[in-house]
Amino acid sequence: MQKLYETYERCNGAPQFKAKPLNPVSSLYQHTQIQVTIDADGNFRRAAQLELQDTVIPVSEESATRSGKNPEPNPLTDKLAYCAADIGDFGGNGQRYEGYERQLRQWCNSEFSDPKASAVLRYLEKKMLIGDLIREGVLKCENGKLSSLKIPGRMAVEAKDAWVRWRVELAGDPAANTWEDEGLFRKWASFEGSLNRANGTCAVTGENVRIARLHPRAIRSNSDGAKLVTSNDDSGFTYRGRFGNPDQAVTVGYEVTQKAHNALRWLIKRRGYRAGDQIFVAWAVGGGDVPDPCWDTGRLFGAPGDVHIQPDDQYGGDAGQLYALRLKKAIAGYRANLSDFDEVVVMGLDSATPGRMAITYYRELTGSEFLDRITSWHDRCAWFQKYSKDNRFMGAPAPNEIAEAAYGKRIGKKQELRKATVERLLPCIVDGRPLPRDLVEVAMRRASNRAGFEKSKSKQEWEWEKCLGIACALVRGSSEENYRMSLEKDRTTRDYLYGRLLAIAENIEDRALYVAKETRDTTAAKLMQRFASHPYSTWRNIEIALGPYRTRLRANRPAILLEREKLLDAVQCMFRPEDFTNDTKLSGEFLLGYHCQRAALWAKANKDNKEESVDETATEGEME
């Protein structure tokens, strides 16, 4: 609460946030459907239906958390059931208008009155709002009752539940929108604070100020009913059993809780990372720009979907050096706007019930410490990621993508599994903890089960490619070995070499299928899962199955076959005899060897295909 309050005080009014400012005290965001324009004397000008626009509205302490049978009215912008005195003539209940009109009149008669609010009151006293909206065509009346309001792309809204916002055109005042008038909000906050309120010691500032009795809701969205602080449950066990009254537990100043919650809403809107109902947000208290710990490296570099290191060039040199240089430059950009001693906060929010919200993760770090840990994560979990044709990058995947790679598409129906996975990964990013071993194993097993992906050939290939890249990143990030991101021709470990063998066998068959213009899966792809569990016995089946394809290449592409067979023999000769005949399960290292060898051969194959196309074109020309 203290850090959020400090964030509000330091960021409110800052020039870099002028386009998306923080909300003033005693205000909320609300979707509005109707806009009414009047003049200074309260005469109706025009009205229009909105496509569900976010509007800042003034609220009281009670109306901001209203619920139940007799909810409190808002002071200016509210539902039609509150604003329209003539709603009773069209089948509605006009009782709520009385409380709305009473509160608005008290404000307008006080020393904190505002000319726009007074104009709205003068118009509403005429009791013509519903009639004017019908004449303007905003509302429709059938058989004496109002029809529902249809919102494009949204569910229809009952007329009485449609929210109304006001434009007041005053002479000499170009700002007619009440929701953009800062003076109006200040006057309302002053009036609302002048009412009889209890004072006490604020636990955040230590000052004797007005104490908040009801704390704001609508934190994650406008309809969110979960609260971070609540003490109105005097019949349950919110505080009873340890305290006699809620003030003995904690007292927070009204202005402090308003600013803290407004800062939190603002931060979530700007940079909140969502995993179902779960929210993670990272920010600098001073307002400096910080990288989101839940971003993948593509977003960290500022160009998602950009191929930062071309696949063809990736294996021509040390891809790790190229990537490290790009990462260093990206982090240096954040360091330029964030000092070593700036405060950075990382927080996770979730709710187990509709009314209670919890802080599930919380860390306070210095700017240098935070950036060092982000750098470490993107460095140790870096691998070539291939999400789709237009979205490829070198780096670490996002926690949300890791969850999908480990548990598949079914995770969409089980948000709890997604949320739990992201929550487990955040300490690995921010605190530098080791990756969960079970998560790495699950991702590795799923990447090995190539036949278990989408049945559509194109979807299957891209989904599997994405899973493979993420699994390799997790294996590399969880290992104490310093694996390079390019092919390590001098690495002689059993699992790495078996991965290379699988990639070479797949490439031989794939080349033969390409020559015959066939698109079916290779034997290596079909047996990949079994190969991961029993490499020695499965390799014999794969090698025997290569016979027909070798014959085809020998007749059509002898040079390519000779090159691949030399490579196959060279890799086999690097095994120790006892390692090659060992039929025990392979570790995730085999995926690294497989992916690197496959990518190196893929880059070589592209070059071969171009040369073949040139040769074929020349041959056709000679025949003509």
Task: Write down the pLDDT at residue 234.
Answer: 64
Coil, strand, or helix at residue 351? Answer: strand
Mean pLDDT computed over 8-21? 91
Q: Do 526 and 460 reside in the same domain of the chain? A: no
Q: What is the DSSP letter of 180?
A: G
pLDDT range class, residue 391, cuts 50, 70, 90 = confident
Task: Write down the pLDDT at residue 283.
Answer: 96
Residue 379 CB partners (closer than 8 Å, separation 6+): 324, 327
User: Phi and psi (nearest 5°) for 157?
Assistant: -115, 135
Alpha helices in 431-493 (DSSP H): 437-448, 457-478
pLDDT digits (tens, 9 = 90+) for 456-480: 555 667 889 999 999 999 999 999 9
Residue pair 29/221 in contact (Cβ under 8 Å)? The answer is no
Handedness of CA 17, 181, 50, 172 (dihedral sign): negative
Q: Do 536 and 572 reside in the same domain of the chain? A: yes
d(CA 302, CA 399): 18
Confirm whether 431 is domain-assigned: yes
Task: Write down the pLDDT at residue 309.
Answer: 42
Higher per-residue pLDDT: 39 or 415: 39
d(CA 387, CA 304): 11
d(CA 501, CA 543): 10
pLDDT digits (tens, 9 = 90+) for 107-162: 999 999 999 999 999 999 999 999 999 999 999 988 888 988 888 777 888 999 99
pLDDT over 70 percentage in the chain: 90
Tokens of 205: 């500032």
Q: Do 90 and 156 reside in the same domain of the chain? A: yes
* CA proximity to 496, closest of 481, 509, 511: 481
Last residue of a domain, one of 485, 510, 532: 485
Q: Do 410 and 506 reside in the same domain of the chain? A: no
Q: What is the DSSP letter of 228?
A: S
Which residues sit opposite 383 in a β-bridge?
Answer: 395
Q: Do 433 and 291 reside in the same domain of the chain? A: yes
d(CA 228, CA 4): 13
Confirm whether 415 is domain-assigned: yes
Other Cβ atoms closer than 10 A to 504: 23
pLDDT range class, residue 303, cuts 50, 70, 90 = low
Range of the domain at 46: 19-194
Last residue of a domain, one of 433, 453, 485: 485
Give the CA radius of gyration of the chain.
Answer: 32
Q: Do 525 and 439 reside in the same domain of the chain? A: no
Which residues sit opposite 38 in a β-bridge?
Answer: 44, 168
d(CA 364, CA 345): 5
Confirm whether 265 is domain-assigned: no
d(CA 378, CA 357): 31
Confirm whether 227 is domain-assigned: no
pLDDT range class, residue 233, cuts 50, 70, 90 = low
Q: Do 407 and 491 reside in the same domain of the chain? A: no
Confirm whether 534 is domain-assigned: yes
CA end-to-end span of the chain:
81
Give Dmax (Cα) for the chain: 100
d(CA 422, CA 439): 11
Q: Do 409 and 553 reside in the same domain of the chain? A: no
- Tell me the C-alpha to C-alpha distance, in Å, between residue 482 and each of 438, 469, 548: 21, 17, 39
Q: Do 106 and 24 reside in the same domain of the chain? A: yes
Residue 4 CB partners (closer than 8 Å, separation 6+): 259, 260, 261, 263, 264
Q: How many structural domains does the chain have?
A: 3
H or E stretch covering 359: strand 356-366
Q: Do 189 and 101 reside in the same domain of the chain? A: yes
d(CA 58, CA 78): 10
Whether 316 has a pLDDT exceeding 50, the answer reads no
Highest mean pLDDT among 348-362, 458-472, 526-540: 526-540
Q: Which of 62-66, 290-294, 614-618 has the lowest mean pLDDT?
A: 614-618
Q: What is the DSSP letter of 402?
A: H
Confirm whether 302 is domain-assigned: yes
User: Is 0.75 surpassed by the pTM of this model?
Assistant: yes
Confirm whether 261 is domain-assigned: no
d(CA 198, CA 209): 8
Confirm whether 247 is domain-assigned: no
Residue pair 21/121 in contact (Cβ under 8 Å)? The answer is no
Other Cβ atoms closer than 10 A to 379: 18
pLDDT digits (tens, 9 = 90+) for 57-84: 999 999 988 877 778 999 999 999 999 9
Q: Do 464 and 549 reside in the same domain of the chain? A: no
Q: Do 500 and 468 reside in the same domain of the chain? A: no
Coil, strand, or helix at residue 50? Answer: strand
Other Cβ atoms closer than 10 A to 15: 6
Tokens of 570: 């060279």
Last residue of a domain, one of 443, 468, 485: 485
Task: Write down the pLDDT at residue 249.
Answer: 80
pLDDT range class, residue 618, cuts 50, 70, 90 = very low
Please name the residue that has the structure tokens 């947000």.
281
pLDDT digits (tens, 9 = 90+) for 83-100: 999 988 887 777 899 999
